[in-house]
Chain A
Amino acid sequence: MWRDAVLVAGKDLRIEARSRVATNQVLPFAFLVLILFAFALDTDQRALTRAAAGLYWVAVLFSTLLAIQRSAAIESADGARDQLRLSGLDPAGVFLGKVAAVAVQLVALEVLLGAGVVVLYNASIRGVGLVVLTCAAATVGLAAAGTMYGALAAGLKVRETLLPLLLLPVAAPVLLAATKAWQAALDGVPADGAPWLRLLATFAVIYLTLGVLLFGSLLEES
């Protein structure tokens, strides 16, 4: 399983390095969202700073949708999914590999967006440890849930519009918990973020487990 996961993650990241969809499309989109929020709330800089955590995670969530759609589209093109199934790779390994590839892209995105929030929203991050742990747990959860729902929607003709409808409600707890944890870090009271961090970790573990168990069926049925 782990060998297959490394193989699939390497393949997806190599495709991303060649196609540069994340750097040329997902990242600019994420910054655009941040800037549009700034335009919308610019008259009240304090409101912008206060809402920085929530706006950051909304931007991450929207960008996750694009990254997941791209990850699913890689396997949908030109019979690639059939060849992936024929290869005999462990479906759990395929799932973990795709989650890892999406997570790597999201982490890079979050680092750059974090810098954007500091600059644009005048936010100051006090609890760096909590921020890092929150990003790690939220990223794994979003990548795992997104990869599952991406596979679920992949076989459908309306997958591009269906994926947000499936994923956004499911990701709502991540948005809430990550925002609360980040807010605690921005406010300099990391202890307040601990319960939210536990929720994020639980979400990630649940979706990683579900994906490992169910991804094979999703790959077959989609």
Chain B
Amino acid sequence: MASGVAIHLRSAVALLGSFPALAGADLDVATGEVVLLRGANGAGKTTLLRVCAGLVGVVSGEVEVLGQDLVRDRRAVRRRVGLLGHASGLYDDLSVSDNVRFAVRAAGGDAAGIPSALARLGLDGRLARTPVTRLSTGQQRRTALAILAARSPELWLLDEPHAGLDAEGRDLLDGLVREAAARGATVVLASHELDRATALAHRSIAVAGGVVLPPTGTGAVDSGDGHAGVTQPGAPPVASAPAPGEAAHVA
């Protein structure tokens, strides 16, 4: 795998039970890139993200993430990856700040960034002491985002990140993604919110039937049904990743 490549998948096959959720996916994402995965429900976007996080193993093919061979050791990369999935991943009975503190400390992160992350997401003050079970869905989503912000992983994997957030929360999320990319982090997001997600991404990739579709080269963004692979005009090719700091200007 070439240096500067954050994600490298070749003919990756992943099974959910006996169903091939990934059926020979090929994907290369450069370090510092922001990539949008598009596709219909059940196309394999979530499984692709979970494979990249090392949560789902592949039965054949190659998977290298942040220089680690995940076929050999799925756990190797986890501490460097942040995944925002459909579920919040939070402990209902713990407060917002307890959840963030545990997640950051568990990942070996620096707890010094927790107060600013909570404040950034509007979770400081009384909300920080509130048990997660009493929060709205949007506030729980913000808490999960605060964990990502405080951890500042090298690879952000975001599955429908805008879902459940209000307009302000969506703006905050977009700002966090841009800042992460500006710091040199790689971001892969799966979203049906094409307007927002396309504005964030350097390029867009279509997923259908468990495979990554080849780009059509039309330069247009489709409706998200997974029938076209599109590269954003002016986006960096995979082989030449944007230098840290450049990415923020792309979106």
Contact = CB atoms under 8 A, between A and B. Distances in A.
B212 interface: no
Interface in A71-118: 74, 77-80, 82-89
Interface string B91-106: 1111000100011011
Given A7-B102, A79-B86, A82-B85, A88 B91 contact: no
Interface string B27-56: 000000000000000000000000001110
B90 interface: yes
B88 interface: yes
A14 B81 contact: no
B72 interface: no
A88 B87 contact: no
B85, B93, B94 — which one has the most chain A CB atoms within 10 A of its CB?
B93
A47 interface: no
Contacts of B93: 15, 18-19
B186 to A, nearest CB: 16
Contacts of B86: 79
A160 interface: no
A192 interface: no
A11 B92 contact: no
Nearest to A11: B102
A82 B94 contact: no
B103 A88 contact: no
A15 B78 contact: no
Interface in B98-119: 98, 102-103, 105-108
B94 A83 contact: no
B131 interface: yes
B55 A15 contact: no
Contacts of B75: 85, 88, 216
B103 A83 contact: yes
Given A15-B91, A15-B93, A79 B85 contact: yes
Interface string A193-222: 000000000000000000000001000100
A84 B98 CA distance: 14
Given A4-B106, A14-B98, A79-B85, A85 B90 contact: no
A11 B102 CA distance: 7
A4 B98 CA distance: 16
A78 B102 contact: no
B87, B90, B91 — which one has the most chain A CB atoms within 10 A of its CB?
B91
Contact of B89 (A15, A18, A80): A80
Nearest to A89: B106
Interface string B53-68: 1110000000000000
Contact of A82 (B89, B102, B106): B89
B75, B81, B89 — which one has the most chain A CB atoms within 10 A of its CB?
B89
A82 B91 CA distance: 12
Interface in B183-225: none
A15, A83, A88 — which one has the most chain B CB atoms within 10 A of its CB?
A83
B89 A85 contact: no
Given A14-B98, A79-B86, A79-B87, A86 B92 contact: no
B120 interface: no
Contact of B107 (A77, A78, A79, A87): A87
A18 B94 contact: yes
Contacts of B103: 83, 87
A83 B53 CA distance: 11
B89 A88 contact: no
Contact of A88 (B79, B83, B88, B131): B79
Contacts of B89: 78-80, 82-83
B107 A88 contact: yes
A14 B101 CA distance: 13
B85 A11 contact: no
A220 B50 CA distance: 13
Interface in A31-89: 74, 77-80, 82-89
A77 B54 CA distance: 20
Interface of A: 4, 7, 11, 14-15, 18-19, 74, 77-80, 82-89, 216, 220
Interface of B: 53-55, 74-75, 78-79, 81-83, 85-94, 98, 102-103, 105-108, 131
13 contacts: A18-B93, A77-B91, A78-B90, A79-B88, A82-B83, A82-B85, A82-B87, A82-B89, A83-B83, A85-B78, A86-B54, A87-B106, A87-B107
